Amino acid sequence: MTQIIGSREETKKEKTEGAFVILGEDPASQARAGLLRTAHGEVETPCFMPCGTQGTVKALSSEELEEAGAQIILSNAYHLYLRPGEEVFEATGSLHSFMRWKGAILTDSGGFQVFSLSPLRRVTDEGLSFQSHIDGSKQFLTPERIVQFQLLLGSDIVMVLDECVGYPSLLEASAKAMERTLGWARRSKEAFQAGKTQGRFLFGIVQGGTDSNLRRQCGERLLEIGFDGYAIGGLGVGEPAPLLWEQCALSTGQLPKDRPRYLMGVGTPEDLLEGISLGIDFFDCVLPTRHGRNAQVFTGEGIRNLRNAAYAKDPEPIERECPCPACRGYSRAYLHHLLKSKEILGVRLATLHNIWFYLGLMKASREAIRKKNFEPFKKGTLTRLRRTS
């Protein structure tokens, strides 16, 4: 499936020989730069996927995401299954056409959302029974059903249904959830293979709480089933950072080098750099959009809270060297005014800047990996990022 080659120029002759190509590796870490070829274009890795949970990245249009350099976004099958629902997509076509998005889409299966949003739920080996958080209607999802729905959406990357446990969790609960996740993974693969899957990918998910033996066992058994890529789930749910990265390193060290690796839902800028060092290729997180809605903007020198009085008369842009539309045309003083006044434009501009920042950080990381100096780049970037104002 995968070719490891030395430079971007060589990809032309390897075009038909693999969907995932490694373009460069950092000698001082596990970081690697790659390329995933999808039916909706090439995705350069490591990459950040803006979260379009309900078919929209909050406050932004698809055209603005494209201008920012996004090559892939994340959406959520649970939310789209409940609203607008299957019948809408059967009538209107794929999620790509529905939201006018030309790039690739990864859809999460929604298992985590069932556990976190549904007030009444029952989990069995057969599937998930729950009440919709929207209207209280009774719902039942199986691994097969959620894969079929993702295929209806036209997802480029389909995620298996999994069971996530919180932190802390009892060993017995983590082991039970892992076993169920593995059973669902097998059934998900069978359902995927029975559908129209040309040019699409199915990712398995490593679970096991924070127990190293369980995570190692889960990874081994997922490899026996065989997937196009592998996600690391169940982290970033309250555990201490050292434990998070210990478990992440365990999984990346175990997962095959010739498959994409995805760390689910973990995504401060510092997290992205740490994950890249461990060999992670895909990231997603709601932070850039959520922070934008709360007047917090990411910069190369830390987070700025634009509601702070210090910015009320500041004529400078958010960040001088940033090429985003917010920084090209507007001052911190204007954004301060908009956000204090709760004007929608303020939220849009702050969110737009944050997405540009995240995608720019990924682009700079890829370039550093190809130049074989990612670790010095990471160290210098982290030093600057730890400032806040």
26 a catalytic residue: no
Tokens of 207: 């679970």
CA distance 51 to 354: 12
Q: Which of 108, 156, 162, 271 is catalytic?
A: 108
- Give the whole-angstrom CA distance, residue 249 versus residue 305: 33
Q: How many CB atoms lie under 10 A from the CB of residue 233?
A: 29
Angle at 354 between CA 351 and CA 357, to 5 degrees: 155
For residue 142, count other CB atoms closer than 10 A to its CB: 17
The helix-helix angle for 374-385 and 269-277 (nearest 10°) equals: 160
Catalytic status, residue 258: no
Least Cα distance to 379 among 276, 288, 285 occurs for 276
Q: Say how many C-beta atoms besides its own lie within 10 A of residue 144's C-beta.
A: 18
- Which residues, other chains included, contact 384 with Cβ-Cβ below 8 Å and sequence gap of 6+? 300, 301, 302
Residue 85 CB burial class (10 angstroms; 0-12, 13-18, ≥19): exposed
Number of other residues whose CB lies within 10 A of the CB of residue 93: 13
Which of 125, 211, 284, 314 is the catalytic position?
284
- Residue positions annotated with a catalytic role: 108, 284
